Chains A and B, each alone.
Chain A
């Protein structure tokens, strides 16, 4: 397994498409969070109600799109080039190949997502302060605050989960276009459902789709106020992240079933 991990790591860090995608993920995370923060404003009525931690990580949903590309391209580049045959002759065990890919994708994306989330948070807090988010209604939230730290680490874990979901999808579908489309659909469709369906359906959506992972960002007992009108917390922060990882695991298992049974 060590040899397979080392080999897959070399492959991933010399695959330009995946590196560009992971860099895009970081840029989107920081850039769009900064945009969200600089466009935020406090108002008299709901003074003290805004979740400055969640605003400070608002780029995550956009970064998730790039995360999908990271995970998908790690597998689709094997099929588009035909390299999968070399991979599977060098390492005959298909579960081992997929497990190693999942591990190196996570090892590449998590630290970078964590750095980007932390940077986004810090930039956003400073911008929010300039926009009038000041004490006493909005005391400064340091990144070491337990809720803030959970949100920052949890966001990095959520982006990693999206990478793994896409890896599983790509293992099943093999083609870059359809895999990325399916992965992006999994990010956006729940968001679109939030805008269309009534409250009880919206609650189900944030409990059961990968979007549940967004709960990890919430520090005010209100979920997703940055995107849609879901009041309260239909799911806890870590439970929500757990749902996203259940999707990742499910997707990888489905991918494995295809990989195992299909000729290469």
Chain B
């Protein structure tokens, strides 16, 4: 089966607001594709369009080469986790998985197997309303995996999780991608995907901003930054500005500057007789690269 997700000029408007704007991307199997953008960028809407929950004004979304509504027994093709809270609080975890399995003719034993896989077998008889958020996220993953689908669509699966839960989710997603599945996972925080995703699709205001690997994104981030600590802030700022840089002071004894290497900064200040108490060179993080990419889009 062709386990790719593809959107073709996908467009969704709500009244006058464009939620998804002419979005064309391909999500490939065997890796984790992070789907990032600020809140309100259109990530959830895109996922709902993929799953046939909402209808686009134009363009189309294809999963495994077909429109979602055309797929027979869809849970064996696409597993989705849109909202871990979307569980009836009075129903047990086991009953929740059972009705989902039954809707697609999935064997009863599979629900038990998934409960063991996500570590909920011991509490599966308890009301889901008594589950912690982490347990509900695990239950959501179990539900998404019921049909053993080659494609997974997960909306903010780590939101609200504690560090242990985040680590579990990352390891689970990595294992699923390593099995050759397509893992499409959204987040509004790049840091959540930093150690997880292989590939990134960045959107803002519904438009595609970038579709590249994690390494490529870091490389596009503007230059390294150098932070110095000195008692002579004003003098240091003047020297650096004369060298063509744009230094920024924190108001006390620190100055940061972009566009100059650490050795160049050290040399400039040294030759001007300015005392350096500390000099730290930092590489742009993925978060900063992402911020540069999306900051214009994040503003209303």
The answer to the question of A144 belonging to the interface, with a C-beta cut-off of 8 Å to chain B, is no
Interface of chain A residues 1 through 27 with chain B (CB within 8 A): 3-4, 6-8, 10-11, 14-17
Task: Please list the residues of chain A having a beta carbon within 8 angstroms of any beta carbon in chain B.
Answer: 3-4, 6-8, 10-11, 14-17, 77, 81-83, 85-92, 263-264
Q: Which residue of B lies closest to A93 (CB)?
A: B69
The answer to the question of B295 belonging to the interface, with a C-beta cut-off of 8 Å to chain A, is no
Shortest Cβ distance from residue A169 to the other chain B in the assembled complex, whole angstroms? 20
Establish whether residues A264 and B90, one from each chain, have CB atoms under 8 Å apart when the complex forms: no
Question: Per a CB cutoff under 8 Å, which of B86, B91, B103 touches A85?
Answer: B86
Establish whether residues A82 and B85, one from each chain, have CB atoms under 8 Å apart when the complex forms: yes
A21–B68 alpha-carbon span in the complex (Å): 36
Q: Which residues of A contact B92 (CB under 8 A)?
A: 14
Q: Which residues of B contact A89 (CB under 8 A)?
A: 51-53, 68, 74-75, 78, 80, 82
Q: Which residues of A contact B48 (CB under 8 A)?
A: 85, 263-264
Establish whether residues A264 and B54, one from each chain, have CB atoms under 8 Å apart when the complex forms: yes
Given contacts A85-B86, A89-B74, 5 further A-B contacts (CB under 8 A): A17-B90, A85-B53, A90-B100, A92-B71, A264-B48
The answer to the question of B105 belonging to the interface, with a C-beta cut-off of 8 Å to chain A, is yes
Establish whether residues B104 and A263, one from each chain, have CB atoms under 8 Å apart when the complex forms: no
Question: Per a CB cutoff under 8 Å, which of B55, B83, B86 touches A263?
Answer: B55
A6–B104 alpha-carbon span in the complex (Å): 10
Task: Please list the residues of chain B having a beta carbon within 8 angstroms of any beta carbon in chain A.
Answer: 48, 51-55, 68-69, 71, 74-75, 78, 80, 82-83, 85-92, 95, 98-100, 102-105, 143
Establish whether residues B99 and A10, one from each chain, have CB atoms under 8 Å apart when the complex forms: yes
Closest 10 pairs (CB-CB, A-B): A82-B86, A7-B103, A263-B54, A16-B90, A7-B102, A90-B103, A14-B95, A10-B99, A264-B53, A6-B102
Shortest Cβ distance from residue B59 to the other chain A in the assembled complex, whole angstroms? 16
Q: Which residues of B contact A6 (CB under 8 A)?
A: 102-103
Shortest Cβ distance from residue A97 to the other chain B in the assembled complex, whole angstroms? 9
Q: Which residue of B lies closest to A90 (CB)?
A: B103
Question: Per a CB cutoff under 8 Å, which of A3, A17, A82 touches B104?
Answer: A3
Shortest Cβ distance from residue A261 to the other chain B in the assembled complex, whole angstroms? 9
A88–B68 alpha-carbon span in the complex (Å): 11
Q: Which residue of B lies closest to A83 (CB)?
A: B86
A91–B147 alpha-carbon span in the complex (Å): 13
Q: Which residues of A contact B102 (CB under 8 A)?
A: 3, 6-7, 10
Q: Which residues of B contact A77 (CB under 8 A)?
A: 88
Establish whether residues A15 and B100, one from each chain, have CB atoms under 8 Å apart when the complex forms: no
Shortest Cβ distance from residue A174 to the other chain B in the assembled complex, whole angstroms? 14
Question: Per a CB cutoff under 8 Å, which of A7, A92, A263, A264 touches B100?
Answer: A7
Q: Which residues of A contact B71 (CB under 8 A)?
A: 92
Q: Which residues of B contact A264 (CB under 8 A)?
A: 48, 53-54
A83–B89 alpha-carbon span in the complex (Å): 11
Establish whether residues A81 and B89, one from each chain, have CB atoms under 8 Å apart when the complex forms: yes
Q: Which residues of A contact B55 (CB under 8 A)?
A: 263
Q: Which residues of B contact A82 (CB under 8 A)?
A: 82-83, 85-86
A83–B87 alpha-carbon span in the complex (Å): 6
Establish whether residues B103 and A4, one from each chain, have CB atoms under 8 Å apart when the complex forms: yes
A142–B132 alpha-carbon span in the complex (Å): 56
Establish whether residues A10 and B53, one from each chain, have CB atoms under 8 Å apart when the complex forms: no
Shortest Cβ distance from residue B60 to the other chain A in the assembled complex, whole angstroms? 15
Shortest Cβ distance from residue B90 to the other chain A in the assembled complex, whole angstroms? 4
Q: Which residue of B lies closest to A16 (CB)?
A: B90
Establish whether residues A92 and B95, one from each chain, have CB atoms under 8 Å apart when the complex forms: no
Establish whether residues B100 and A86, one from each chain, have CB atoms under 8 Å apart when the complex forms: yes
A88–B78 alpha-carbon span in the complex (Å): 13
Establish whether residues A92 and B104, one from each chain, have CB atoms under 8 Å apart when the complex forms: no
Establish whether residues A85 and B88, one from each chain, have CB atoms under 8 Å apart when the complex forms: no
A85–B102 alpha-carbon span in the complex (Å): 16
